[in-house]
Structure 1
Amino acid sequence: MIRLNRRAILGGAATLVAAPLAQPALAQPGLPDRPIRIIVPYNAGGITDVISRGVAVGLQATLGQPVVVENRPGANGTVGTLAAARSTPDGTTITMGITDTFAINRSTFPNLPYSDETDFAPISMVTRVPFALMIGAHRREITDYASFVREARREAGRLSHASWGVGSSSHLAFEFVARAQGFEKLHVPFAAQAPGMQAVAAGQVDSMMLPVGGAESLARDNRARIIALAHPNRIDLTPGVPTLGELGVPLSTGLWLALYAPARTPPAIIARLNEALRTGMRHETTQAVFRQQAGVAEPSTPEELATFVRAERAQWAQLVREKNIRVEA
Structure 2
Amino acid sequence: MIHLTRRAALAAAAAALAAPRLATAQPIGGSAERPVRIIVPYNAGGITDVISRATAAGLQAALGQPVIVENRPGANGTVGTLAAARAPADGSTITMGITDTFAINRSTFRTLPYSDENDFAPISMVTRVPFALMVGAHRRDMPDFASFVRESKKEAGKFSHASWGVGSSSHLAFEFVARNLGIEKLHVPFAAQAPGMQAVAAAQVDSMMLPVGGANSLAVDGRARILALAHPHRIDLTPNVPTLQELGVPLATGLWLALFAPARTPAPVLERLNAALREGMKHETTLSVFRQQAGQPEPSTPAELAAFAAAERAQWAKVVREADIRVEA
TM-score of the superposed pair, with normalisation by structure 1: 0.95
- Residues 123-162 of structure 1 correspond to what in structure 2 (within 5 A)? 123-162=123-162
Which position in structure 2 is the counterpart of 1:277? 277
Preserved contact between residue 16 and residue 60 of structure 1 (Cα < 8 Å): no
User: Structure 1 pair 6/328, CA: closer, same or farther in 2 (3 Å)?
Assistant: farther
Which position in structure 1 is the counterpart of 2:8? 9
Q: Mean Cα displacement is larger for which, 150-159 or 273-282?
A: 150-159
Give 1:5 deviation, angstroms.
4.2
Alpha-carbon distance in 1 for matches of 2:4, 2:265 = 34
- Residues 86-125 of structure 1 correspond to what in structure 2 (within 5 A)? 86-125=86-125
Give 1:28 deviation, angstroms.
4.4
1:25 aligns with 2:27: no
Give 1:318 deviation, angstroms.
1.5
User: Structure 1 pair 155/264, CA: closer, same or farther in 2 (3 Å)?
Assistant: same
Match of 2:258, SS state, is: strand
The C-alpha deviation readout for 1:246-287, integer Å capped at 9, x for no partner, is 111111111110000000111111111111101110101100
Alpha-carbon distance in 1 for matches of 2:71, 2:205 = 27
Match of 1:162, SS state, is: strand
Alpha-carbon distance in 2 for matches of 1:5, 1:39 = 17
Q: Which runs of 5+ in 2 are unaligned?
A: none
Give 1:45 deviation, angstroms.
2.0
Give 1:94 deviation, angstroms.
0.6
User: Structure 1 pair 20/148, CA: closer, same or farther in 2 (3 Å)?
Assistant: closer
Residue type matched to 1:7 in 2? R
Preserved contact between residue 125 and residue 298 of structure 2 (Cα < 8 Å): yes
Alpha-carbon distance in 1 for matches of 2:62, 2:25 = 10
Match of 1:90, SS state, is: coil
Alpha-carbon distance in 2 for matches of 1:253, 1:208 = 14
The C-alpha deviation readout for 1:198-222, integer Å capped at 9, x for no partner, is 1111111110000101111111111
- Matched residues, percent identical? 75
Alpha-carbon distance in 2 for matches of 1:306, 1:98 = 13
Preserved contact between residue 36 and residue 67 of structure 2 (Cα < 8 Å): yes
Alpha-carbon distance in 1 for matches of 2:24, 2:78 = 34
Residue type matched to 1:133 in 2? L
Give 1:9 deviation, angstroms.
3.5
Preserved contact between residue 137 and residue 224 of structure 1 (Cα < 8 Å): yes
User: Structure 1 pair 96/5, CA: closer, same or farther in 2 (3 Å)?
Assistant: closer
User: Structure 1 pair 259/266, CA: closer, same or farther in 2 (3 Å)?
Assistant: same
Alpha-carbon distance in 2 for matches of 1:225, 1:285 = 28
Give 1:153 deviation, angstroms.
2.1
- Residues 1-329 of structure 1 correspond to what in structure 2 (within 5 A)? 1-2=1-2, 4-15=3-14, 19=17, 24-29=21-26, 31=28, 32-33=30-31, 34-329=34-329
Give 1:321 deviation, angstroms.
1.4
Q: Which runs of 5+ in 1 are unaligned?
A: none
Preserved contact between residue 6 and residue 50 of structure 1 (Cα < 8 Å): no
Q: What RMSD, in angstroms, separates the aligned Cα atoms of the two structures?
A: 1.6
Question: After TM superposition, where is structure 1 displaced by more than 6 Å over at least 4 residues in a row?
Answer: none
Aligned length: 326
The C-alpha deviation readout for 1:181-214, integer Å capped at 9, x for no partner, is 1221100011111111111111111100001011
Alpha-carbon distance in 2 for matches of 1:313, 1:177 = 21
The C-alpha deviation readout for 1:152-182, integer Å capped at 9, x for no partner, is 2222221100011111111110001111112
